[in-house]
């Protein structure tokens, strides 16, 4: 790191709303400024020239890995990608020691893991910024791309209504954080056995957020501006057939989308499983913005990197 202030990007509920707004607005500016440039071309200012990101993946990844790597290159920096088998994180070496060592070699760390405690311990002992690339509890980078996408298509998100149906998972938890920080209403529909963690709902209530939970997907989606879901069987989860059977009433079909506003948008963080959590006619239909949503991971993560490094 070249010096100056740095900040961790761990979870949306830990970051001031004004900072999150700054990141979204900068991501939009970054995207607009690159119009017409080849994907491999660096941004003219190369603000991260000479800086290195160590991206640690304990879980599989397509969008997070590629977007962080391409983002660093476009910002003029470099990326070092490490998989779980290539590090001794939490096994042959403590997480704290890994944080101290990597802080001597690189300028910023990104961790994708199913151990949220690893993320927190890494941030506690690192002397460089740490970014949450996904844990079993939250996925904040994804939600920043989602908010950017919502605003690209429908203007300011404050005051709008979003609906989530399906598994109350890590993406859903970060959607709750986003709803509070960006001031939109969120209705969540899950079966009780796959409900979102109560502490996340309690946090939203304590913050005065307009977040509600129900078992009825039609009630959640009714007159919504945005409809979200995610895969019903995430990485590392067992009991696939049982989960699919129980969650099937929460699948986003054309009939479910018809209960939302006529111009409602469909969002999905991908990878998607057509015929499971969403029908092909929806995700590949005119109301879907999933490809813009995927692209915006790149622009948002560049803005997150710059915010973390104080650039």
**Which residues are catalytically annotated?**
112, 139, 142, 230, 269, 297
Sheet strand arrangement including 226-229 = 211-214, 185-189, 161-165, 226-229, 265-268
Q: CB count, 10 Å around CB of 47?
A: 16
Q: Which residues pair with 278 in a beta bridge?
A: 252, 274
CB 211 within 8 A of CB 205: yes
The two structure tokens encoding residue 62: 């397509």
Instruction: Indicate the Cα dihedral angle 299, 288, 247, 170, nearest 10°.
Output: 10
Q: Could you write out the DSSP letters of every residue in 226-260?
A: EEEE--SS-TT---HHHHHHHHGGG-B-HHHHHHS
Interacting residues of 84 by C-beta distance below 8 A, sequence separation 6+: 56, 57, 58, 59
Q: CB count, 10 Å around CB of 98?
A: 25
Peptide bond before 271: cis, by omega within 30 degrees of 0? yes
Q: CB count, 10 Å around CB of 60?
A: 13
Helix, coil or strand: residue 163 = strand
Burial code of 194-219, b = ≥16 C-beta within 10 A, e = fewer?
bbbeeebbebbeeeebebebeeebee
Interacting residues of 282 by C-beta distance below 8 A, sequence separation 6+: 252, 253, 254, 257, 266, 288
Pairing of strands 265-268, 226-229: parallel
CB 301 within 8 A of CB 24: no
């Amino acid at each position: 790191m070249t010096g100056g202030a740095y900040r961790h990007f761990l979870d949306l509920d830990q970051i001031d709303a004004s900072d999150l707004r700054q990141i979204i607005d900068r991501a939009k500016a970054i995207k607009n400024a690159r119009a017409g440039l080849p994907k491999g071309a660096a941004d003219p200012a190369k603000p991260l020239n000479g800086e290195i990101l160590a991206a640690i993946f304990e879980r599989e990844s397509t969008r997070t890995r590629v977007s962080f790597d391409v983002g660093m290159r476009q910002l003029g920096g470099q990326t070092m990608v490490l998989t779980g088998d290539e590090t001794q994180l939490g096994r042959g070496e403590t997480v704290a020691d890994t944080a101290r060592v990597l802080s001597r070699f690189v300028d910023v760390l990104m961790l994708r893991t199913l151990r949220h405690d690893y993320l927190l311990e890494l941030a506690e002992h690192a002397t460089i910024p740490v970014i949450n690339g996904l844990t079993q509890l939250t996925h904040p980078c994804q939600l920043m791309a989602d908010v950017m996408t919502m605003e690209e298509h429908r203007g300011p998100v404050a005051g709008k209504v979003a609906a989530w149906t399906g598994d109350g998972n890590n993406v859903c938890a970060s959607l709750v954080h986003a709803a509070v920080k960006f001031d939109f209403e969120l209705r969540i529909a899950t079966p009780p056995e796959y409900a979102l963690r109560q502490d996340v709902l309690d946090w939203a209530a304590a913050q005065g957020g307009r977040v509600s939970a129900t078992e009825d997907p039609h009630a959640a989606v009714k007159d919504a501006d945005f409809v979200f879901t995610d895969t019903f069987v995430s990485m590392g989860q067992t009991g696939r057939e049982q989960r699919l059977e129980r969650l099937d009433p929460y699948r986003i079909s054309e009939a479910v989308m018809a209960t939302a506003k006529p111009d409602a948008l469909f969002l999905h963080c991908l990878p998607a499983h057509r015929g499971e959590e969403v029908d092909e006619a929806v995700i590949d239909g005119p109301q879907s913005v999933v490809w813009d949503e995927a692209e915006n991971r790149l622009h948002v993560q560049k803005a997150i990197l710059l915010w973390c490094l104080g650039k």
